[in-house]
Amino acid sequence: MIKFLTLLVLVTGLSSCVTFKEPEFKSMDGYTFDGMEGKQVKFKLKATVYNPNPYALKVKPSQVSIFAEDKLYGTLKLEKTQKMKRKKDTQLEVPLCFEMADGAMMGLVLLMRKEKINIKIDGKVKGGVYFISKKFPVNYEKSISPKELGLKNILKF
């Protein structure tokens, strides 16, 4: 029991010494639409990310809320752990599931008519190094053209 407590204190103390640098988003390399079932839209996002840390990082299954024009449109879920190599660019193919809130489909059709829309992503993402993990807050806002989202491919009638 004393060995376990010593190990726990040692790991906790050493983990606080680890410096963390936020990964840098390099490019969005496209996406593939995997299908829609009920209120769920599944797709894979392709992106290149640079990890400046001297250790590999993992982003574990997490979920964030998606808002457009201050209205909740749904929840975006990361379905599979993503690994970023240390001190390298990593090409990721991230499987995501967007679960739409009630009335979101009609709202998306209306958003397509606007010139610019304000998108907000809010929630917590779980990341880890080795066996140590932590939840990081995400609060991101950006004004974009609906054309950038590529919703016309999804909203075919």
Per-residue pLDDT tens digits for 78-89: 999 999 999 999
Closest CA to 117 of 131, 126, 102, 107: 107
> Looking at residue 114, what DSSP letter applies?
S
Average pLDDT estimate for 106-123: 89
At residue 18, the pLDDT reads 58
Average pLDDT estimate for 121-142: 88
Per-residue pLDDT tens digits for 9-39: 555 545 545 577 888 888 888 888 899 999 9
Query: pTM score, two decimals?
Result: 0.75
Give all domains of the chain, ordered by start, each with its CATH number: 21-154 (2.60.40.10)
**How many angstroms separate the CA atoms of 73 and 147, rounded?**
17
